[in-house]
Structure 1
Amino acid sequence: MKEPLNSLSFKPSEIVQLPEKMDHHNHGYNQIVIGLSGQTEFDIEGAGNLVCPGQGCLVTADSEHAFSGIGNNEILVLNVPTEQLQPAYADDSVARLFEQSSYFHLDRQAQNLIQMLTAEMMAHPDDLLLSKACTDTLMCVLHRHFKPLNDHKPNHRLNMDIIDHYILQHVTRKISVTQLAGLVFLGESQFHLLFKAQTGVTPHQYVLKKRLEFARDLIETSPLSVAQVAQSSGFASQSSFTQAFTRLYGKPPARYRKANA
């Protein structure tokens, strides 16, 4: 399904929540999608990936793409008609953004800028001038602040900020290696090797340690019972939590709480 460019309804940028049901289309304009919250799933001409906060994808004009949301989510969509690339964005590096569809990571500076701009957009959703200004601003800076998916060198380092944020946001749930690998646009086996080389532990061991650190903070700062802490930290049972906690911190949770009261 190809969408026409309707000047009456076309917004240069907008904040969108994607439904969980997969949809697909193509359109005659370029598009940049940036994850703001939650997770979304995209497939662009057969190349699929998750898009999470701090990540995004470039969809070139007329590219067939499918998309869906995973639970609660928000994305920033920048719509850029092909005729606007020249002369409005005369810089060759900007035009090269749309040479082919791709996925990318954003650095912290770009993420901070996006947070400020989207806050203004949410406060004034019908301001088309603001919408265009946001698109123009981001188009001028994005090419300096993102790393394409295919920019994986042998010494590539994983973005642990993205991984840590995801673990914290989903600490009450089961977290798989596949989910973590999708955050940084890698296959499961490649992610596992890179992760172990960079951190010295497996992804499973790392997630377990993060759960226990989260649980320790709850024990030190909250009135929750040990059973409630176990549940809040994503453990299947109080006994499995107690065993893991004791191995790491040398004391069971109740004794640890008393010792640190």
Structure 2
Amino acid sequence: MNTKFKHSEIVILPEQMEHHNHGYNQVVIGLSGQTEFDIEGYGNLVCPGQGCLVTADSEHAFSGLGRNEILVLNIPVSQHSFEETYGYLQPSYAMDRVERLFDQSSYFHLDSQAQNLINALTVEMTAHPDDLLLSKACTDTLMCVLQRHFKPLASDRHSARLNMDIVDQYIIQHLTRKISVTQLAGQVFLGESQFHLLFKNQTGVTPHQYVLKKRLEMAKQLMEESQLSLAQVAQSCGFSGQSSFTQAFSRLYGMPPARFKKNNV
């Protein structure tokens, strides 16, 4: 992200991971697409309606996953730095609000009311990108909104558990196509590495192994309940071809799908 200090700005992150630190606090809010952040070793995805808090001088890395836009609010850390930046003193109660906000969890999500306001403000910012007064007003407004609508994603990263109902629903809905770990992680608003670790701890298998088993379970069900050919079953369950389907099915069930289908006619 641009290290030149601005009140607020709309940014597109590059796909290549970058990292840095800076001497001011930063609020990042997802507007479109997906971005990935790692703040002092704590990784997560930031999607529309989610965001993260980057405290001053903390090491953080970030990248965009395809097309994306984020809203960045840059917040001075003290009265002295605020006066140097803006030329006037920030009221003490406002600085207290900033301190309380940045004492909270790094990652958060926002309710629909806050999201609607953010969308309206970013429309104005896009239409008037050089209006510094508007930029400052948007930052002040959103800092007040965050105090009231801030909802931490997880207070304890070590005890967090995945909502497997959400993961399973996504897998079932997309069985006919390739499913990546990044896509699964995005459903529960986590970074790929954190999702992979939590998933393995919770299920005992990797996401790839889990998805493969779901494909084979669906294939087994189709062979029991439909008249589809083996090639059609393989295609319906997202396998690249009948050969890869046969190999995977035989490893899990101890017999090739042709024999299984024959036994269940």
Report the TM-score when normalising by structure 1. 0.60
Deviation at 1:38, TM superposition (A): 1.0
Alignment map for 1:153-192 (pairs within 5 Å): 174-176=178-180, 179-182=183-186, 183-185=188-190, 187-188=195-196
Corresponding residue number in structure 1 for 2:71: 76
Check the 8 A contact 1:31/1:80 in 2, yes or no: yes
Distance 1:31 1:91, change over 3 A: closer
1:41 partnered with 2:49: no
CA distance in 1, matches of 2:162, 2:39: 25
**Structure with max Cα Rg:** 2
Deviation at 1:112, TM superposition (A): 1.0
Alignment map for 1:26-65 (pairs within 5 Å): 26-65=21-60
Corresponding residue number in structure 2 for 1:15: 10
1:99 partnered with 2:135: no
Check the 8 A contact 1:60/1:101 in 2, yes or no: no
Corresponding residue number in structure 2 for 1:121: 125
1:108 partnered with 2:108: no
Alignment coverage as a number of residue pairs: 200
The counterpart of 2:19, out of the listed 20, 24, 28, is: 24
AA partner of residue 184 (structure 1): F
Deviation at 1:146, TM superposition (A): 2.3
Deviation at 1:150, TM superposition (A): 2.4
Check the 8 A contact 2:162/2:199 in 1, yes or no: no
Deviations 1:205-240 (A, max 9, x none): xx99xxxxxxxxxxxxxxxxxxxxxxxxx9678x9x
Question: After alignment, is 24-33 or 175-184 more displaced?
Answer: 175-184
Extract unaligned runs of 5+ from structure 2.
83-89, 203-209, 216-236, 243-265
AA partner of residue 121 (structure 2): L
The counterpart of 1:137, out of the listed 132, 135, 141, is: 141
Which stretches of structure 1, 4 residues or longer, exceed 4 Å deviation after superposition? Answer: 91-94, 152-158, 170-173, 188-194, 234-237
Check the 8 A contact 1:60/1:100 in 2, yes or no: no
Corresponding residue number in structure 1 for 2:231: none
Deviations 1:64-110 (A, max 9, x none): 11111111111000000112586365374542111266111111111
Extract unaligned runs of 5+ from structure 1.
4-8, 195-202, 209-233, 240-261
The counterpart of 1:87, out of the listed 78, 91, 106, is: 91
Distance 1:236 1:76, change over 3 A: farther
CA distance in 2, matches of 1:155, 1:127: 42
Partner SS for 2:78: helix
Corresponding residue number in structure 2 for 1:215: none
Check the 8 A contact 1:42/1:50 in 2, yes or no: yes
Determine what percentage of the aligned residue pairs are the same residue: 69
Deviation at 1:130, TM superposition (A): 0.6
Corresponding residue number in structure 2 for 1:247: none
Distance 1:122 1:142, change over 3 A: same
CA distance in 1, matches of 2:125, 2:238: 39
Check the 8 A contact 2:24/2:74 in 1, yes or no: yes
